[in-house]
Amino acid sequence: MKHVPLLINGEFKNSDATQHIDVTNPANNEVIAQAPCATEDEISQAIASAKTAFETWKDVPVTERARLMMRYQALLKEHQKDIAETLAQETGKTFDDAMGDVWRGIEVVEQAMNVPSLMMGETAENVARGIDTYSYTQPLGVCAGITPFNFPAMIPLWMFPLAIACGNTFVLKPSEQDPLTPVRLAELFKEAGAPDGVLNVIHGGKEQVEPLLTHPDIKAVSFVGSVPVGQHIYRTATAHMKRAQCFAGAKNHTVIMPDANKEHVLNNLVGASVGAAGQRCMAISVAVFVGEAQQWIPELAERIKAVKPGPWDQKESAYGPVISPQAKERVLRLIDSGKQQGATCLVDGSDFTVEGYENGNWIGPTVFSDVTDEMDIYKEEIFGPVLSIMNADSLDDALTLVNNNPYGNGTSIFTSNGAAARKYQHEVTVGQVGINIPIPVPLPFFSFTGWKNSFFGDLHAYGKQAIRFYSETKTITSRWLEDDIPGGPNMTISLG
């Protein structure tokens, strides 16, 4: 049995933990590794290691920190395929999806390579007579990251490269459901030349998270996961005087106007709704068809019905299983609730298996029409391959529906009318908006900007906001009096 190691002070080591969590292959639920629930002492060691490393790392020139990220980026590209294979086996993602997961993380590391320009301060000369004011951007100290199962490469890479490039050190607690990928990322980071203690990795569940939220040496906490956990982490971390950014649930709508390009809409909605088994916080889970566009619903259902899930290493697999039997049970419960509460099930994937993988967590693509905002399949984040279809008479009606939803992670509109697109992007109360693009995830030189119950905090992930989150501004006002200089300002300095 493979035991997932901890990383403490530059050393990959087996834990002394008495409790372990099985890491399974979701395609067949076979155990492929065991992750330790790190002991209290091991967590303290990881934090202490990061604190000690910070004393020297914060003084490493910013250009050297950027070069570490350059080396790391090169190693991630070199090993992208083997990282993706590990990722696919422990998450169930198809190989192409896993490759994309790694690549989006690499793009954030590329942003971290730009850290010298991102950390520049500001200067104003002569704010008063003979007085100048300028600011520096300096690191915070030890930061922590708590990451989810659905993107075990991308989301850790959202966090620790940017934090460390800013001069901080980091303690990562990845998801206990797929920790092999984050450990591989840490191995390559060490190979790139990261000093001991700059990055530490611990494993476990809620019990291992709590010390990261309360320990006085942790200065900032980043989290991605569910709403209840995100709220708990935000409240606990801030109550202990820490910075916190918590990315939580989503219910992403796309609005289809009747003047949209029909083929473009249908082709994009298939992958955006059921791709990655719907286990994306930016997945389109609600499609709102406006007016005559409702005529396209039967054809959309037929196209989604043709999508076939399968194991990660088969090219014809459109997506993989959901992460666990518990996740499957939850999705099936919500599908059943949709049927019981009056929605029309156009495509039913609740009784789906893959030959040779009958024990896997499979759910076929599922589509409901005639969904209302009072149904559980609308109110809850399903996190499975389920699309809910709703109707609206006008763009204003669609906007009201979207804006009344408690989540605000992502949304999109399909239209050929520029005025309609501008009205939607201006009035919608959602943080990330796509126009004729189904999943509007920004590239890392912008920031990932969920709103409402999709995000708790002030500064978002990656981009310039992440640099602000992982740093502090020091403002200096200086005055040099010429009368204090021996010989005055024209003095001659001897270099002999």
Please report which helix (H) or strand (E) contains residue 398, including its range. helix 395-404
Range of lowest pLDDT (230-239, 329-338, 482-491): 482-491
- Do 178 and 302 lie in one domain? The reply is no
- Domain assignment present for residue 179? The answer is yes
If phi over 0 gives left and psi between -120 and 50 gives alpha, with beta otherwise, what is residue 277? left
CA 155 to chain centre: 4
What's the confidence (pLDDT) of residue 182?
Answer: 98
- Do 212 and 265 lie in one domain? The reply is no
- Domain assignment present for residue 449? The answer is no
- Domain assignment present for residue 489? The answer is no
What's the confidence (pLDDT) of residue 1?
Answer: 79
On whether the CB atoms of residues 338 and 375 are closer than 8 A, the answer is yes
Please give the Cα distance from 407 to 418 (Å, whole number).
26
On whether the CB atoms of residues 256 and 265 are closer than 8 A, the answer is yes
- Domain assignment present for residue 423? The answer is yes
Q: What angle do CA 332, 337, 341 make, to 5 degrees?
A: 155
Q: What angle do CA 135, 141, 143 make, to 5 degrees?
A: 120
Residue 242's nearest CA partner among 458, 476, 407 is: 458
- Domain assignment present for residue 484? The answer is no
- Domain assignment present for residue 447? The answer is no
- Domain assignment present for residue 483? The answer is no
- Domain assignment present for residue 495? The answer is no
Active-site annotation, residues: 281
Scanning the structure block, which residue is given the tokens 């389920």? 386
- Do 322 and 397 lie in one domain? The reply is yes
- Do 88 and 172 lie in one domain? The reply is yes
The answer on pLDDT for 122 being more than 80 is yes
The answer on pLDDT for 489 being more than 90 is no
- Do 225 and 289 lie in one domain? The reply is no
Task: Show the domain range for 289.
Answer: 252-435
Beta bridge partners of 403: none
- Do 101 and 224 lie in one domain? The reply is yes
How many CA atoms lie within 13 Å of 409's alpha carbon, on the beta-carbon side? 27
- Do 106 and 217 lie in one domain? The reply is yes
The answer on pLDDT for 493 being more than 90 is no
Residue 233's nearest CA partner among 105, 152, 161, 144 is: 144
What is the identity of the amino acid at 33? A
- Do 263 and 128 lie in one domain? The reply is no
Please give the Cα distance from 454 to 431 (Å, whole number).
9
CATH code, domain carrying 19: 3.40.605.10
Please give the Cα distance from 335 to 329 (Å, whole number).
10
Q: Which residues contact 415 (CB under 8 A, 6 or more apart)?
A: 257, 259, 260, 421, 424, 435, 436
Phi, psi angles (nearest 5°) of residue 488 = 80, 180
CATH code, domain carrying 260: 3.40.309.10
Q: Which two tokens stand for residue 405?
A: 């939803």
- Do 207 and 241 lie in one domain? The reply is yes
On whether the CB atoms of residues 133 and 124 are closer than 8 A, the answer is yes
- Do 235 and 357 lie in one domain? The reply is no
Q: What angle do CA 51, 72, 110 make, to 5 degrees?
A: 100
The DSSP result for 360-378, as a single string, is S-----EEEES--TTSHHH
* Overall domain count for the chain: 2
Average pLDDT over residues 211-219: 98
Beta bridge partners of 221: 144, 244
Phi, psi angles (nearest 5°) of residue 354 = -115, 130
Q: What is the pLDDT of residues 216-231, one digit of tens each?
A: 999 999 999 999 999 9
What ranges make up the beta strands (E) of 250-406?
Answer: 252-256, 284-290, 344-347, 366-369, 386-392
The answer on pLDDT for 494 being more than 70 is no
- Do 233 and 306 lie in one domain? The reply is no
- The confidence band for 492, taking pLDDT boundaries of 50, 70 and 90, is low
What's the confidence (pLDDT) of residue 383?
Answer: 97
Q: Which of the 8 DSSP states describes residue 276?
A: G
Q: What is the pLDDT of residues 466-488, one digit of tens each?
A: 999 999 999 999 999 987 666 66
- The confidence band for 43, taking pLDDT boundaries of 50, 70 and 90, is very high
- Do 78 and 196 lie in one domain? The reply is yes
Q: What is the pLDDT of residues 24-40, one digit of tens each?
A: 999 999 999 999 999 99
